[in-house]
Amino acid sequence: MADKLRCLIVDDDEMAKASLEHLCSKVPDIEVVAACDSGIEAMQLLKQEEIDLVFLDIEMPDLSGIELVKTLDKLPQIIFVSGHTKYAIEAFEYHVTDFLVKPIDLPRLIKAIDYAVSLKSKKENASNDLRELFVKVDGRLVRLSFDDILYVESIGDYVIFHTVNKERLIVHSTLKNIDAKLQHPEFLKVHRAFVINLTKIVDIEESNLVIGDKVIPISRAHKPILMNRIKTL
Picking from 63, 59, 52, the residue whose alpha carbon sits closest to that of residue 81 is 59
CA angle 226, 229, 233 (to 5 degrees): 100
For residue 149, the SS3 value is strand
With beta carbons less than 8 A apart as the criterion, state whether 30 and 7 touch: yes
pLDDT tier at 177 (50, 70, 90 boundaries)? Answer: confident
DSSP at 37: S
DSSP 105: P
DSSP state letters, 110-141: HHHHHHHHHHHHHHHHHTT--SEEEEEETTEE
pLDDT digits (tens, 9 = 90+) for 158-176: 999 999 998 899 999 999 8
Domains and CATH numbers, the chain: 5-126 (3.40.50.2300), 132-229 (2.40.50.1020)
In this prediction, residue 126 carries a pLDDT of 58
Residue 71 or residue 113, greater confidence: 113
CA separation for the pair 100, 121 (Å, rounded): 22
Question: Which of 96, 95, 5, 15 lies closest to 56, judged by CA?
Answer: 96
Bridge-partner residues for 149, per DSSP? 163
pLDDT given for residue 119 in this prediction: 86
Q: What is the pLDDT, as a whole number, of residue 233?
A: 61
Which of 57, 41, 51 lies closest to 75, judged by CA? 51
193-220: per-residue pLDDT in tens?
999 999 999 999 989 999 999 999 999 8
Q: Is the pLDDT of residue 1 over 50?
A: no
**For all residues of the chain together, what is the average pLDDT?**
90
| Interval 25-69: pLDDT, tens | 999 999 999 999 999 999 999 988 899 999 999 999 989 999 999
In the DSSP assignment, the letter for residue 106 is H
